[in-house]
Amino acid sequence: MIGSLDARIPSGPIEENWDIHRFEMKLVAPHNKRKFHVLIVGSGLAGASAAATLGELGYQVTLVTFHDSPRRAHSIAAQGGINAAKNYKNDGDSVYRLFYDTVKGGDYRSREANVYRLAEVSVDIIDQCTAQGVPFAREYGGLLDNRSFGGAQVSRTFYARGQTGQQLLLGAYQALERQVRLGTVKVLNRVEMLDLVLKDGRAVGIVCRDLLRGSVFSLSGHAVVLATGGYANAFFLSTNAMNSNVTAAWRAHRRGALFANPCFTQIHPTCIPAGDEFQSKLTLMSESLRNDGRIWVPKNFGDERPPAQIPPEDRDYFLERRYPAYGNLVPRDVASRAAKREVDAGRGVGPLKNGVYLDFADAIARLGRHAIEERYSNLFQMYERITGEDPYEMPMRIYPAVHYTMGGLWVDYNLMSNVPGLYVLGEANFSDHGANRLGASALMQGLADGYFVLPYTIGDYLAGLLGTQPVPTNDAVFAETERAVDAQVRQLLSVNGSRSVDWFHRELGKILWDNCGMERSAETLSKALAEIPPLREEFHNDVRVLGDDESMNQSLERAGRVSDFLEFSELMCRDALHREESCGGHFRTEHQTEEGEALRDDEHFSYVAAWEFNGVGAEPTLHQEPLQFDNVKLAQRSYK
C-alpha cells in the first residue's frame, strides 16, 4: 500500500533547489561505484545518455533494448530541435523565461521545481552535445544558430537540419559505445523487458525475452532504470515509431509503480493526413515549419480551386486571425484544435477533405527558394516522397495526429518512482511537461534526465545499499516472475483464434481516437470504457499468433504489446473521465471558455493524478500529488 506521495522537493527558493539538493544527497565514493550494478531499459536519449554517464562514473551498467542497435531508438526520429536557455540570440531569454514558458505551456499541471531544474541544465546539454560533436546548425561566423518554436516568443531552439533527434541520439549513442568498448556498459540488443522483479518492495531486477532465440531470462541489479518512451501508439495511428509501446511502463505499473496523468496526450498539429485505409502510421512534419509556413483554409465551403488560384481574400489564415500575438506559432494543443474545428466545419482540403494548408509561397517569395531549402529540404523531400506532391509548388496538406504523451510513471524530484530502486526517465515518466509539452522540450528533458539528473540522484539511493549484492538471479522472486512471463507468452501462442494482432490494435485505436482524442466528454469516455473491456476479452479469446517462441517472432512481440495497450487504455480513459476540466492536451468539451479555449479548474484539479493498479479491469486507486505554484501565477493561458 502506498502512503502519501512524497515528491521530495527540496525546500528553499526555487533557484537554489537543485544546488542544495545536490549537496544534501549522499555520494558514492569512486572506488565503490564499480560495486553497483545498474540495469537500464531503453537506449533513447534518456537511456543512452544515462548509461553512458553512469558508465563514465564507474558503475557497472547493463542496457537492454528491443531495437537491433541502440541508435534506432525512437528518439532518432525527432526533427525540429532542442530548447536551451542560452540566450545566444540576445532576445531576452533566460532560465527563468524557459521555466516560465514551460510551466505555462504545460497549462499549469507540472511541478515547478522539476521544470526549473530542467531549464537550468538545458544550458549544459547544448555544451555537452557540442563537445561530443553534434553538428548543430551554424551561422557564417561559426557560432551556433537558433530557430523559434511554438509557445515561445524567443529563438532558443538549437537544431541540426531536420534531424536534431538523430544527431543528439548519435552523440549519446557514441558516448555509450565508448563505454561499451571500455567494458563498463553491456548492451543487449533485441532483448525486450517483460517484467519488473521486486523483493521486499524494492526493484531488484528485470525479466527479459531474447527476441532472437525466444529464451526468457533475468537480469539482476541494485537499481532499475526505465527509459522506455511514450505510449502514443495506443492510438494505433500516431507519429511514433511502429514498435514504440507501453509494455515496460505498464508491467512496472502492474507491479506497483503509480501511473500519473495517463490522459495527458499530445496531438501534433502538423502531420501528413492519412491517405488510405492501409495507413500504418502517420508522419510528422516538424513544427519548425510553422516558422515560415502560413496555415490557412479556403473561406468558402467546397472551394475546389487549386490552392494557388485561391486569392488572398478567399483564404482564412485562421491562426493568425485568432491569435495575432503568436500567429502560426501558438502551442500545439491550440493549433491542433483550431485545425480540427476548420475541418469539422467542412473547410478541410485534399481528396479526403481531412487537412488544412501549410503554405510556403510567401516565405519563398520573401527569402528565396534557396533559404527554404537550407532550412527544410529534407522535410520537403519527405513530404514529396509520401504524397507525391511538391511543397515548393503547392502548399502542404497537414492535420493533427497523436504525437507525444505527457503522462507516464509517477516519479519524485529524484526521478525515482514510488517503488524504491525503480527510476523512470524521459518520455516514460510524467515529470516536466504538465498537460502539454512545448516543441523541442522532450529532447531537452530526455537528455537532462539522463546526463544531468539521474547520475546524481541515483547515488543517493545506491549509497544506502553499499555492501549489499544484487539478488542472485536464481532467487525465488526471479524464478516466479520468469514463470509468469513464460505463461503469458504461451497463452498468447495457444489462443490461435481468427483475428490478427493488428486488427485488435486498429480497433482499439479507433475507439481511443474517437472518444479520448483531441476532444473528450463524459459521454464519449464512458462509451470507450464500455467498449474496451469486451475488445480485450475478444483479444484473449480470438487473437491469432502463429510461429513458435524459439526464434524471432514479430507477431508474438506485437501481441504482448497490444495486450498491454488494451489494459492501459482503460486507465487512460478513466483518468480523462475523472479530470473534470480542460487543460493542455486534455480538452473536455464540457469545460471551455466561450471562445472555445481550454477552461481549467485549478481549485479542484491542480494536482497530479497518480493511479495505483488493483488488477485488470478493476477500479484503480487514485493518489493525488497537489501542485503548488509559488513562482508562476496561475492564469488562463492566452496566446492572443
Partner 1 sequence: MPELTTEDQRAGADAASILEKDTGAPIVAPPRKRPWIVEFYGSGVGKKWVMAVTGIILLGYVLAHMIGNLKVYLGPEEINRYGDWLRTLGEPAAPRTVVLWLMRTTLIVAFVLHIHSAYSLTRMNQRARPVKYQGPRDYVAANYASRTMRWTGVIIGLFVIFHLMDLTWGAGGAKFHRGDPYQNMLRSFERVPVAVVYVIANLALALHIYHGAWSMFQSLGWNNPRFNAWRRYFATAFAVIIAIGNVSFPVMVQAAVIH
Partner 2 sequence: MHLQLRVWRQSGPRAEGRFETYDMPDVVPDMSFLEMFDVLNERLLEEGKEPIAFDHDCREGICGSCSMMINGRAHGPERGTATCQLHLRKFRNGDKIVVEPWRAGAFPLIKDLSVDRSALDRIVAAGGYISAPTGSAPDANLILVPKPVADAAMDAAACIQCGACVAACPNSAAQLFTAAKVMHLNLLPQGQPERWERVTNMVDEMERFFGSCTMHGECEAACPKDISIDFIALMNRDYVKAKFKNRQLESQRG
Question: What is the bridge-based pairing of β-strands 185-188 and 60-64?
Answer: parallel
Instruction: Tell the burial category of 177 from Cβ atoms under 10 Å away from its Cβ (0-12, 13-18, 19+).
Output: middle
- Provide the 3-class DSSP secondary structure of residue 88: coil
DSSP string covering 479-505: HHHHHHHHHHHHHHHHH--SB-HHHHH
Q: Which of 208, 379, 396, 454 binds partner 1 (CB under 8 A)?
A: 208
Q: Which of 94, 174, 521, 631 binds partner 2 (CB under 8 A)?
A: 174
- Provide the 3-class DSSP secondary structure of residue 156: coil
Contact 43, 73 (CB under 8 A): yes
Q: Which of 52, 57, 82, 285 binds ligand FAD (CB under 6 A)?
A: 82
187 binds partner 1 (CB under 8 A): yes
Q: Which does 140 bind (CB under 5 to 8 A by kind): partner 2, ligand FAD, partner 1, none?
A: partner 2
Site string for ligand FAD, 31-70 (x = CB under 6 A): ----------xxxxxxx----------------xxxx---
240 binds ligand FAD (CB under 6 A): yes
CB of 471 to partner 1, least distance (A): 8
332: annotated active-site residue: yes
Q: Which of 286, 349, 285 is nearest to 314 (CA)?
A: 349
Q: Which of 20, 29, 212, 325 binds partner 1 (CB under 8 A)?
A: 212
127 binds partner 2 (CB under 8 A): yes
191 binds partner 1 (CB under 8 A): yes
Total residues contacting ligand FAD by CB under 6 A comes to 47
Q: Around 583, how many Cα atoms within 13 Å sit in the side-chain half-sphere?
A: 31
Looking at residue 619, the DSSP 8-state letter turns out to be: P
Q: Which strands sit side by side in the sheet containing 191-199, from one edge to the other?
A: 191-199, 202-210, 216-220
324 binds partner 2 (CB under 8 A): no
Q: Which of 188, 194, 310, 411 binds partner 1 (CB under 8 A)?
A: 188
- Candidate ranges 158-166, 176-184, 577-585, 630-638; the one touching partner 1 (CB under 8 A): 176-184
Q: What are phi and psi of 259, to 5 degrees?
A: -105, 120
Point out the catalytic residue in the list 109, 290, 332, 375.
332
135 binds partner 1 (CB under 8 A): no
Please write down the HEC assignment for all residues of 380-446.
HHHHHHHHCCCCCCCCEEEEEEEEEECCEECCCCCCECCCCCEEECHHHECCCCCCCCCCCCHHHHH
Contact 565, 508 (CB under 8 A): yes
Within 10 Å of residue 93's Cβ, how many Cβ atoms?
22
DSSP string covering 550-586: SS--HHHHHHHHHHHHHHHHHHHHHHHHH--S-BTTB
Site string for ligand FAD, 427-466 (x = CB under 6 A): xx----------xxxxx--x--------------------
Please write down the HEC assignment for all residues of 370-390.
HHHHHHHHHHHHHHHHHHCCC
For partner 1, the closer of residues 188 and 257 by Cβ is 188
Which residues are within 8 A (CB) of 541 and not within 5 positions of it... i.e. 6 or more apart?
495, 497
CB of 51 to partner 1, least distance (A): 13
463 binds partner 2 (CB under 8 A): no
Q: Which grid coordinates are listed for 363?
A: 516565405
CB of 534 to partner 2, least distance (A): 22
Q: Which does 60 bind (CB under 5 to 8 A by kind): ligand FAD, partner 2, partner 1, none?
A: partner 1
Q: Which of 5, 187, 402, 559 binds partner 2 (CB under 8 A)?
A: 187
For partner 1, the closer of residues 395 and 470 by Cβ is 470
For ligand FAD, the closer of residues 68 and 374 by Cβ is 68
Total residues contacting partner 1 by CB under 8 A comes to 31
Q: Which residues bind partner 1 (CB under 8 A)?
A: 35, 37, 60, 62, 68, 177, 180-183, 186-191, 208, 210, 212, 215-220, 469-474
Q: Give the catalytic positions in this structure.
A: 332
Q: Which residues bind ligand FAD (CB under 6 A)?
A: 41-47, 64-67, 73-75, 77-82, 164-165, 192-193, 227-230, 239-240, 244-245, 247-248, 284, 286, 403-404, 426-428, 439-443, 446
